[in-house]
A and B are shown apart, each in its own frame.
Chain A
Amino acid sequence: MTTLVLRGARPLGGPATDVRIESGVIAELGRGLAGDDVLDADGLVLLPGLVDLHTHLREPGREDAETVATGSAAAARGGFTAVHAMANTSPVADSAEIVEQVARRGAAAGLVDVRPVGAVSRGLAGEQLAEIATMARSQAQVRVFSDDGLCVADARLMRRALEYVKPFDAVIAQHAQDPRLADGNACAHEGELSGRLGLPGWPSVAEESIVARDVMLARHTGSRLHVCHVSSAATVDVLRWAKARGIAVTAEVTPHHLLLTEDLLSTYDPVFKVNPPLRPSEDVQALREALADGTIDAVATDHAPHAAHDKDHAFADAAFGMLGLETALGVVAEAMVHTGLLDWTGVADRMSLRPARIARLSGQGRPIRVGEPANLTVVDPSSSVVVDPARFASRSRNTPFAGRALPARVVSTIYLGRMTVRDGALLQPVGAS
């Protein structure tokens, strides 16, 4: 096996060091190290490989929008070494067969650790529990269960799900959206702008009320709850209240909710249509502060690829969702690092360590130490790159950041000791394996 040396990298933005990687682990740290392959990382920031808790890979069912392989490539380009493939595929990932198939496809692509998320309810119908235990015990070892895309609206079902996952130390990741307060048509933050634009409103309270209910259920059951894509300031208040009482709740925020605001909707361009919707700037500010102080634990992309023909509609008729994997780190750097809210240690914590812990993922989100698995990301903190969707590894192009300059380019990604991305380019073409 060859040895790889990263020369002059700065772990978590600290003092520069060489990193020798051998047999998939960090073998040595120090200056003047030698190896078969040397990456000049002078002045670049070294982070633990990023871990995404919330990724839509669309396979099986919508391979025209994304596959496990293309999504893995997009993840690697974005600096990720692990992603969690959401269950709302077609067929739904509610059985051991489907989750094992997704895991196998991920392993075959070999670019990132693809961890399937299992459905909470059979067919995402919100009525009966899916075969959670079977999925947990399968080769895919599912530890995150979610009906994401839909809310587990029924309180009794949510309670049962929280109780049922206890033997596996798994977590229920809730898409918090009361379907009676925000139905499937709801597509814009309910407020003055939605009123003027005549777009069906998605009121923040539809999220806040479910989170409030669910933290009480988590308290009652003593189980772990994870809140997906928090979008409102009042949800942050509820989370803060719950955490102060020791309730086992964690939460994530998407990169786009950290940077974009609802006023983009005035163009009616569905590239800005996402669920939950973009909110006013006061919410964005509250989300940034909550991520900074740890009330929100993690950044998760909610990477949601869509074919162009699913977006070329009127706003209300177009599909929900935005790409996230290939822009996430740049957006977080702009929203959190450049604003002084997080340093690189904080970024590593929110984008790698904590998400790995929430998902009970060993070998990911580890400190940069000798003997740890070499899942690493090399970032150029001083770069600025204009987002060009044509260069994405994702099969889709629905990014809201096209044409926007973002900082912190991912120079290189190392997965299990092997470089998957070098100087921003994939080393292994998709489909080669």
Chain B
Amino acid sequence: MTRSLLSAADLDRDEATALLDAAVRMHAVQSREVKKLPPLRGRTIVNLFFEDSTRTRSSFEIAGKWLSADVINVSAKGSSVSKGESLRDTALTVAAMGVDLLVVRHGSSGAVQRVASWVACPVVNAGDGTHEHPTQALLDAYTLRGRLGELADRHVAIVGDIAHSRVARSNVLLLQTLGARVTLVAPPTLLPAGVGGWPCETDWDLDATLSGKAHGDVDAVMMLRVQRERMTGGYFPTEREYAAGYGLSPQRLDLLDEDVPVLHPGPMNRGLEISSAAADGPRSVVLEQVQAGVAVRMAVLYRMLAGAAEGAA
């Protein structure tokens, strides 16, 4: 594993598998009476969040605490550009406090990579702009492994606002690394520029994809959040039309086998990209994803902080 985790592409198949295996062990802790392990005792982790996210921040915080690290949350929202402090100043100031690892989230793509280039400690990307969110991809892969077993040759459909989704980018990279096949489904306005060069297939037709007619049987479906401001940006005309074309409605759910898991990174827009039938039904693994988030982040923190050198393992 590289010193920092900035992109899902930083992980090769062995490293990704080792992390997912370690997460299985970590997961066991969640059901124990004493939810605490000692390996990161005396280590300090700072969650440096330039963008609000209760969900991801808490997940990293719990993961760090269950490994006995001291976890400090620094909300830097609006601190840099508006107050005249540069990102570099903010990063160096926080790192100078004796931090062993930074977990960074930022609204701009590449910001976490920039931070990693300035500070001496390892950095975990907890989401940067519309670029990547590698631990989300790991928790999705973990959840999928729990349902499907090994992911090689499995077929995952990712549906929604691909263009603005860091979740989609990291998932495409990690699923490809793990040998799975990905089909991205979105209206043409919500597919990224140059998506033809990505290691996956794309489609505009959700029904043809889910039914298996277009790209073969689908083993899992990941629905992405669609932000309502995309409507004013002209990416689609109305919520009604978007939901009709790309929402996971009860009717579309029937196109899927009983055992096809439905994922969503949350928070969900019920009635827009996902119906309550899909969100709360037996195929939904949304809460498993949340649980997996803690286990996967424990595995990531452990592997990045516990050992000085990977070569020793």
Q: Are A and B close enough to touch in the complex, i.e. CB under 8 Å?
A: yes
Interface residues of A (CB under 8 A from B): 190-199, 201, 203, 267-269, 308-310, 312-317
| A199 in contact with B195 given A313-B80, A316-B129 (CB within 8 Å) | no
B 171-206 binary contact with A (CB < 8 Å = 1; else 0):
000000000000000000000111111100000000
Q: Is the CB of A198 within 8 A of B89?
A: no
Q: Is the CB of A314 within 8 A of B193?
A: no
Nearest-Cβ distance from residue B190 to partner chain A, whole angstroms: 12
A268: which of B110, B166, B169, B192 is its contact (CB, 8 Å)?
B110
Q: Is the CB of B193 within 8 A of A191?
A: yes
Interfacial chain B residues near A201, Cβ < 8 Å: 193
Residues 104-125 of B contacting A (Cβ, < 8 Å): 106, 108-111, 113-114
B193: which of A190, A267, A309, A310 is its contact (CB, 8 Å)?
A190
Interfacial chain A residues near B84, Cβ < 8 Å: 309
CA distance A367 to B194 in the complex (A): 48
Q: In this assembly, does B268 line the interface, its C-beta being within 8 Å of a C-beta of chain A?
A: no
CA distance A198 to B89 in the complex (A): 24
Question: What number of B residues sit within 8 Å (CB to CB) of A?
Answer: 29
Q: Is the CB of B197 within 8 A of A315?
A: no
Nearest-Cβ distance from residue A282 to partner chain B, whole angstroms: 14
Q: Is the CB of A195 within 8 A of B129?
A: no
Q: Is the CB of A312 within 8 A of B113?
A: no
Q: In this assembly, does B264 line the interface, its C-beta being within 8 Å of a C-beta of chain A?
A: no
Q: Is the CB of B86 within 8 A of A199?
A: no
7 further A-B pairs in the complex, CB-CB below 8 A; given A195-B194, A195-B195, A315-B111: A195-B163, A197-B110, A268-B114, A310-B86, A312-B87, A314-B109, A315-B110
Interfacial chain B residues near A194, Cβ < 8 Å: 193-194
| A198 in contact with B87 given A191-B194, A314-B129, A317-B81 (CB within 8 Å) | no
CA distance A199 to B88 in the complex (A): 20
Interfacial chain B residues near A316, Cβ < 8 Å: 108-110, 129
CA distance A191 to B87 in the complex (A): 27
| A interface majority secondary structure | helix
Q: Of residues B80, B169, B194, B196, which shows the largest number of chain A Cβ atoms within 10 Å of its Cβ?
A: B194
Nearest-Cβ distance from residue A316 to partner chain B, whole angstroms: 4
Q: In this assembly, does B65 line the interface, its C-beta being within 8 Å of a C-beta of chain A?
A: no
Q: Is the CB of B86 within 8 A of A313?
A: yes
Q: In this assembly, does B4 line the interface, its C-beta being within 8 Å of a C-beta of chain A?
A: no
Residues 65-116 of B contacting A (Cβ, < 8 Å): 80-81, 84, 86-89, 106, 108-111, 113-114
CA distance A267 to B195 in the complex (A): 20
Q: Is the CB of B108 within 8 A of A315?
A: yes
| A199 in contact with B87 given A191-B194, A192-B197, A193-B194 (CB within 8 Å) | no
CA distance A268 to B114 in the complex (A): 7
Q: How many A-B residue pairs have CB under 8 A?
A: 86
Nearest-Cβ distance from residue A296 to partner chain B, whole angstroms: 26
CA distance A2 to B240 in the complex (A): 82
Q: In this assembly, does B131 line the interface, its C-beta being within 8 Å of a C-beta of chain A?
A: yes
* CB<8 Å pairs between A and B, sample of 5: A191-B193, A193-B194, A196-B169, A314-B106, A317-B81
Q: In this assembly, does B130 line the interface, its C-beta being within 8 Å of a C-beta of chain A?
A: yes
Interfacial chain B residues near A269, Cβ < 8 Å: 114
Q: Of residues A198, A201, A313, which shows the largest number of chain B Cβ atoms within 10 Å of its Cβ?
A: A198
| A197 in contact with B87 given A268-B110, A268-B113 (CB within 8 Å) | no
CA distance A355 to B71 in the complex (A): 60
Residues 7-24 of B contacting A (Cβ, < 8 Å): none
Interfacial chain B residues near A197, Cβ < 8 Å: 109-110, 131
CA distance A193 to B193 in the complex (A): 8
Q: In this assembly, does B132 line the interface, its C-beta being within 8 Å of a C-beta of chain A?
A: yes
Interfacial chain B residues near A195, Cβ < 8 Å: 163, 192-195, 198
What residue of chain B has the Cβ atom nearest to residue A189's Cβ? B193
Q: Is the CB of B108 within 8 A of A317?
A: yes
Please list the 9 inter-chain residue pairs (A to B) with the smallest Cβ-Cβ separation, ordered nearest first: A192-B194, A268-B110, A314-B111, A198-B131, A314-B108, A195-B192, A312-B86, A312-B88, A198-B130
Interfacial chain B residues near A308, Cβ < 8 Å: 86
Nearest-Cβ distance from residue B62 to partner chain A, whole angstroms: 27
Q: Of residues A199, A310, A312, which shows the largest number of chain B Cβ atoms within 10 Å of its Cβ?
A: A312
Interfacial chain A residues near B110, Cβ < 8 Å: 197-199, 268, 314-316
Interfacial chain A residues near B106, Cβ < 8 Å: 314
Q: Is the CB of B195 within 8 A of A314?
A: no
CA distance A110 to B129 in the complex (A): 47
Nearest-Cβ distance from residue A290 to partner chain B, whole angstroms: 25
Nearest-Cβ distance from residue B198 to partner chain A, whole angstroms: 8
Q: Is the CB of B194 within 8 A of A198?
A: no
Nearest-Cβ distance from residue B293 to partner chain A, whole angstroms: 21
Q: Is the CB of A199 within 8 A of B80?
A: no
What residue of chain A has the Cβ atom nearest to residue B197's Cβ? A192
CA distance A192 to B192 in the complex (A): 8
Residues 36-54 of B contacting A (Cβ, < 8 Å): none
CA distance A269 to B113 in the complex (A): 9
| A198 in contact with B169 given A313-B80, A315-B110, A316-B129 (CB within 8 Å) | yes
CA distance A192 to B199 in the complex (A): 12
Q: Of residues B80, B81, B111, B193, which shows the largest number of chain A Cβ atoms within 10 Å of its Cβ?
A: B193
Interfacial chain A residues near B198, Cβ < 8 Å: 195-196
Q: Of residues B86, B106, B163, which shows the largest number of chain A Cβ atoms within 10 Å of its Cβ?
A: B86
CA distance A203 to B193 in the complex (A): 10
